[in-house]
Amino acid sequence: MIRELGAALVTGGAILLYGTTGNGKTSLAERLPRLFEDLVYIPYAVEVSGQIITIFDPMIHRPDKDSPEADDARWVHCRRPMVKVGGEMRSDMLDTRMDEVLRVSTAPLQMKANNGILLIDDFGRQRITPRELLNRWIVPLDRGTDILSLWSGVSFEIPFQLLVVFATNLPLSDLAEDAFLRRLKNKIKIEAMSEDLFRELFRRVCREKELPCSPEMLDYISLQCLEHSGNRLRACFPGDLVRIVSGIAAFEQRPPSLTQGDVDEALRVYFVH
């Protein structure tokens, strides 16, 4: 999987992470910006045909505190941006939007994400259909430029220099036909974990929470998770179960511990029977 992700990052374009829920697609995508250590310049705003479009967003762009002040104050020296959207995504978020009070336009998602990553989480559950979205971005994904429009009707071209990552747990056949999926050149399946990897992840979660876990209890938890999940160990199980065990102990006002009683109670409330 690491090899496939590495090749996809070098190739550029778009990455589709797919597979059953709870195996770490979103977590992987959210960690991709850590691979980029260089900085980029983000403009506060641009002007098109006399209309101001704001780009710098303090909720998205992280200025580098160690950088000297820029000679040109119109730019901000930032880490590469990471923009994440989920089910709230609408078609109007892909074009400029006018603030009727300030009479200033706001840049769309892909313009704010330029030189960085745009993560579309839960792909297929947005207010815009997968077909509409892929139709909208077929040319930008291929050519690296996008066409936007102002409220006045003026159209203009912007760079589309970003990594678009789609993450979905829906069957690919439900999203679009082959002709559309072909545009997403890097399709990486995130599958259930091996038992050895699951155990290592559980040990890491326990160390992080300072929660002792004996080898015997780890064997028991692995076996129970396999039985409850149809022999598919998901990456979300360790963190979720440890949080439930800690919650049980906090409610009872005692230190958390991985006793069989607490583990059984956590399993009972976590898995659907």
Looking at the predicted structure, is the pLDDT value of residue 188 above 80? yes
User: How many residues in total does the chain contain?
Assistant: 273
pLDDT tens digits for range 190-199: 989 999 999 9
Same domain, 133 and 161: yes
Same domain, 8 and 132: yes
Same domain, 156 and 207: no
pLDDT tens digits for range 200-221: 999 999 999 999 999 999 999 9
Residue that wins the pLDDT comparison between 68 and 160: 160
* Domain final residue, candidates 122, 155, 189: 189
Same domain, 108 and 126: yes
* Average pLDDT over every residue of 65-72: 76
pLDDT tens digits for range 85-118: 998 899 889 999 888 777 789 999 999 999 999 9
Tokens 């800690």: give the residue: 246
Same domain, 96 and 34: yes
Q: Would you state the structure tokens that stand for residue 188, as one six-digit string?
A: 């990486």
Same domain, 107 and 141: yes
What distance in Å separates the CA atoms of residue 247 and residue 18, rounded to the nearest whole number? 31
* Domain final residue, candidates 163, 189, 215: 189
* Domain final residue, candidates 189, 210, 235: 189
Same domain, 133 and 160: yes
- Domains contained in the chain, number: 2
Same domain, 159 and 68: yes
**Among 134-148, 188-202, 220-234, whose mean pLDDT is lowest?**
134-148
Same domain, 125 and 223: no
Compute the mean pLDDT over every residue in the chain, rounded to the nearest whole number. Answer: 90
The whole domain housing 223 covers 195-270
- CATH number at 111 reads 3.40.50.300
**Predicted pLDDT of residue 72:** 85
The pTM for the full model equals 0.86
Same domain, 57 and 164: yes
- CATH number at 215 reads 1.10.8
What distance in Å separates the CA atoms of residue 273 and residue 268, rounded to the nearest whole number? 8
Looking at the predicted structure, is the pLDDT value of residue 44 above 70? yes
Instruction: With CA atoms as reference, report the closest residue to 17 among 166, 196, 218, 145.
Output: 166
**Predicted pLDDT of residue 238:** 95
Q: Using pLDDT thresholds of 50, 70 and 90, give the confidence band for residue 70.
A: low
Looking at the predicted structure, is the pLDDT value of residue 69 above 90? no
What distance in Å separates the CA atoms of residue 215 and residue 93, rounded to the nearest whole number? 50
Q: 20 with 51: CB under 8 angstroms?
A: no
Looking at the predicted structure, is the pLDDT value of residue 166 above 80? yes
Q: Using pLDDT thresholds of 50, 70 and 90, give the confidence band for residue 273.
A: low
Looking at the predicted structure, is the pLDDT value of residue 133 above 90? no
Same domain, 61 and 151: yes
Residue that wins the pLDDT comparison between 138 and 180: 138
Same domain, 155 and 230: no
**Among 64-73, 84-93, 164-173, 239-248, whose mean pLDDT is lowest?**
64-73
